[in-house]
Structures are given as structure tokens and as C-alpha cells.
Structure 1
């Protein structure tokens, strides 16, 4: 399955002619999506209304768009304003079916890699579950003082009423061939952006006006997976990734001066020791998200390979437009006044 995912991803990136053979599936996908959305929009299917406001942070494309570092930055901003915020997520890749709270000692198998990263960097109250209603109810049960919930993804989860939708768009990657999945990487047609609040993930901030909602990621110096104060100067490295859009990671390392040997795995890849054991001749650099899973491997093995694994930390830098819109939304929802 992961091999097929990588093949399709590479076909999207190269706009391969083979994608035309997937057009019938894209048509079917689009029809099902439109019908499903219409049923919720016209109250033919019921929506769950949470007792406190919900902001959806999602996208209309398959693969990474930068939602996780964005949510981390937004949570920190809300916390700095004294607002009691919680986060929910599907918790992709977790092995449990029932909803669960994400704690500081949760593992990717308990909660998923991205929720572990979010809680590890913010300490936010968070719950995961495929059923968003159950996740919200569990979260509020244990944190009754919450004023606001951010939903990590869930833009297409129309069974959940949302007070606000923010859609993240990768300004560099764009929309490829602008076709729906699987012929392209759109989850919904581009018309879905009409009238929406869009955050553009793009370091080329000069392309946007001063009021635009933009974000970009700023990397720090790679740090050792096992801790310590060692440094890694620019050199040839293996860039190992299990994220939705690894090219951004590879390019960031290249911009930092590293000679990158690309080693992409599928999104949310469940790393094993054998995935890394062959890369012994060069340092390995991984993302902070992948570090959540790879660090778990160190608890069950003392293999020397881990001494040569480095994490590339990144931080989302948000424009004044993002903070201004969040303040406007808080006022509209009467939160923090």
C-alpha cells in the first residue's frame, strides 16, 4: 500500500500521463463528495454542535500542507492570551478505536504522531478519535473550562458543525493538475476556497499584501535524536521522511547547505529499525514529526545508528494577518473579552 502511495505521489509531482487513466475514479470521487456535502448542507444528515466554538484547520489537498506547526503556533498564541483552548484530531495511525486523551507520555500507537508532537510542544488539552463528537465530549468531560476547540483537519468531516473554517494552501506546491483524487491531489474542487479564510503556506511573503494570512517555516540547527550538545555542520546526509510532502523538507535542508540524499517513505510511515539500518555511512536527518516514532525505537534497541540521527526542528512564523483574523474571530465568538 505504501509503495502504491509513493508511486501515485510521484505521478502527481511529475504530472505523469498515466494519471488520465484514473479520471473515472476522480469523477466518482467528486460525485460522492458533492452528494455527501449536500446532504449535510441541506440537513438531510444531522450535524453535531459542540457546546463551545470549534475552528477547523484543514486543507483541500492530500498530503502535508503545514497544519501541524500552524496549530502549534496558534495554540501558543491563544495560551498567551489566557484562553483555555483544546485540540481534537483523528489521530491517524493510532491502533485504538475508541477516543482517547493525548498525554505527555502518549505514544504514536496510542494517539498518532502529530498529536504527540502538538501536546509535546504545547501541553494543550487534546483528544483523538475518528468520531469527532466522541473526541470533543471526552475532552470537555476532562476539561470543562475549555473556551475553544481547534480541530486538526476534519474539513471534510461534515458531521461536525464548525463555527469557523481556516483552509491551509501550500503556495509553492499549488494544486498540481487541479484534478480531484486520485487523478490529482485535491480532496475537494477549488471552488471550495470561495469565501473561505485561507492561510497561504509560502516563504515568499513579498508575493502577498500586508493583510494576507500567510505562514512559513523557519528551521533551527539540527539537534541529536538522543540529546546532547553536538552540532552537525552542512555535509552530505540522508534525509529520511515519512511526511505528506517531503520535497519541502528536502529543499529546506538544501537551503541550509546540506547535500541531500533523499529517502522518502509514505506519509505517517511506521518506522522500523530496518528502515534506518542501511543508512550507516552518512548522518541521517529526520523531521520532528518522524522523530516521535523513531524515538520510540530507541526504547527497544540500542543500535548505534541512533547516534547518527538528527532532528530538524521548525517553527511556524505567522503573518500579522493571521493573528489579526484570530483576534477578530475571538471577538465575534465572544471569547476572552
Structure 2
């Protein structure tokens, strides 16, 4: 287990030894606030896009469900004839950046989340660490966009934005409510007071106004075409996301419980060796991991075992769409 995974486990368990990291958390908090104030005071420039920007992010380290939420919103907006584009940092991608993501691009080039987003939506998307350059490239290629959604970038103060949606994983919560590295907060919880907060639950919560859950889809096989899925068989589970427990919960919803778990760091770059085991059991993984595993399969014929993918889709409460419509109307974007 890597150091990052050990700290992640300590956060999830709220281990008492994390208190020894408090001096580092104080240093992080000071540096974070100092940098933020430099932007707010005008000492550092904030880029304002000619097209409204909506940021979808979180205040915690680790997955919260923002990418499934973004994919659902993109599909919804396009059905409503809103010309939407997406930008992302392209974490894990080798570039060169900025670049327009093509449906044929690999996760190794543009990052796993951008590759997944474009493969599922075919939305115009640009990636690169410099959000301004990404937006400029996106608008150069697609000048008629009505709205740009930023995949993450909540703490990227150099990017001006008109809307902020923060996804809060309610099962995981805010842990010990401490900043990094004593806790897993990127910024204090009071940040939730000034943005639209979408509460992410394991199941539908009719009594929570702005909420979402992940609906599990039908598993599909990545490398075989004439196979039948059997939930009762034993699987190797490969998962390289910010909060692996959420994927394990999704598997349980499908009745998949006989598991050999292999958890990797978020955005893990798979190799052929990660797909080899001393048995012939199938593998099951997430769609985010699958875009990288698929690239490995394209480079070798050595892997003969079945590799299954469990898709999930964000289901939003009706109030989320009502709120979105109200916010876009204020930006003169009519749904």
C-alpha cells in the first residue's frame, strides 16, 4: 500500500495519529488563503471568459461523483439545445496541451476523465493546466458555445466563473473537517455556504432538495463479445478512483459480492502486469479505469481473461434541474 493510500485510509477511519499532521495543515491553510486573497484583491489576474463558465468541483480530496454529474448535465443541456463545451486539467495526460479532445484520444494523452467524458457524450472539450488557454482554444474551434463547464477547478482562482456546483458525498461526509493533510478538505467547510451544493447519496433521497445518486447500469465486457455476465462468480476488482468504497457499494447493489480487491491510487496508469493473476478469474472495473485498461489491451494480446465494466449514471433530483434553469436564465441562457 502506497503512502497516499495509507493516508486515504487514515482519513476514512479518522485515525487519531492524523493530529500530528496539524502543523502541516496550518501551513497549507495559510498558503491557500494567501493565494486566494491575492486573486480577490486584484494582485493576481482572474481570467473572465466571454462565455459563461460553470465549475463543477468539490472541497474534498478523492472522488465525490462530479464526473458522472457533469456527464448527466452535458447530456441534459444538449437535449435542450444548449451549446455546451467542457474544459479540464487533463490530469494524468501527457499532452501536448492545450488540446481538443477527440473521441479516438487515449487516456494516456488527454487524461482518463476527459477521455471518458468525450467517449460518452462527444461534447466539445479542451484540456490543459492553463484554463484560459483551454477556453480560448475551445472557442476558437467552437465559437457558438452558450456555456462552458469546467470539470473541477473549484480552487483554481485564476478562472472566473458565474456558477459553482459543489458535489458533497454524504456517506463519506467531511471526515474530521480538517484541512489537508490532517483531513481531506481542500478548503474550509464554510465554502459550501456560497455555492450550489449537490448532496450525493447512495440511493435516491426524495426529501433532500438538491441531491443525486449513482444508478448502476448493465455490465459490459471490454474484450469479449459473446460472453454472459454472471454476478455470482468471483471477480478481481481493479479500481483506481478517489474513493474506492463507492464502487464496492455499486457492485453490492448488483449482487456482486465475491471479490478480490485491488485498489490503486486515483488516476492510476495501468500496465499489463496489473491485469495478470495466478488464476483465470474475470476482472471487473469502473468506466474511468476502463479507458486506461483498454489502451493496455490494444498494446498486447497476452490478456485472455474477461474484463467487465460496471457503468454508472448520475440521477439528479428534479430540484437540481429547476435550480439550473433558474441560474441559466439569469445568465440569459434559455432552456
Same structural fold, with TM-score higher than 0.5 when normalized by the shorter chain: yes
Change (3 A) 1:39 1:299: same
Q: Contact 2:101 / 2:127 at 8 angstroms: preserved in 1?
A: yes
Q: Which residue does the alignment assign to 1:247?
A: 245
Distance 1:281 1:23 in 2: 46
Q: Which residue does the alignment assign to 1:316?
A: 314
Displacement of 1:203 after TM fit?
3.1
Displacement of 1:70 after TM fit?
0.5
Displacement of 1:195 after TM fit?
2.7
Q: Which runs of 5+ in 2 are unaligned?
A: none
1:193-212 equivalences in 2 (<5 Å): 193-206=192-205, 208-209=207-208, 212=209
Distance 2:205 2:97 in 1: 45
Q: Which residue does the alignment assign to 1:183?
A: 182
Q: Which runs of 5+ in 1 are unaligned?
A: none
Secondary structure at 1:299's aligned position in 2? helix
1:73-88 equivalences in 2 (<5 Å): 73-88=72-87
Q: Which residue does the alignment assign to 2:56?
A: 57
Work out the number of aligned pairs and report it: 333
Distance 2:307 2:83 in 1: 36
Displacement of 1:237 after TM fit?
1.4
Change (3 A) 1:15 1:299: same
Distance 1:326 1:32 in 2: 33
Secondary structure at 2:328's aligned position in 1? helix
Q: Which residue does the alignment assign to 1:226?
A: 223
Secondary structure at 1:327's aligned position in 2? helix
Are positions 1:217 and 2:214 aligned together?
yes
1:124-139 equivalences in 2 (<5 Å): 124-139=123-138
Q: Which residue does the alignment assign to 1:298?
A: 297
Q: Which residue does the alignment assign to 1:154?
A: 153
Distance 1:329 1:104 in 2: 30
Q: Contact 1:40 / 1:47 at 8 angstroms: preserved in 2?
A: yes
Q: Contact 1:222 / 1:231 at 8 angstroms: preserved in 2?
A: no
Displacement of 1:318 after TM fit?
0.8
Q: Contact 2:275 / 2:303 at 8 angstroms: preserved in 1?
A: no
Displacement of 1:126 after TM fit?
0.2
Q: Contact 1:254 / 1:260 at 8 angstroms: preserved in 2?
A: no
Moved over 6 A (4+): none
Deviations 1:195-235 (A, max 9, x none): 321001113433733xx111111112221112525222222
Secondary structure at 1:325's aligned position in 2? helix
Displacement of 1:143 after TM fit?
0.4
- TM norm structure 1: 0.95
Q: Which residue does the alignment assign to 2:119?
A: 120
Secondary structure at 1:104's aligned position in 2? coil
- TM norm structure 2: 0.96
Deviations 1:304-334 (A, max 9, x none): 34x4110001111111011111111111111
Distance 2:24 2:206 in 1: 35
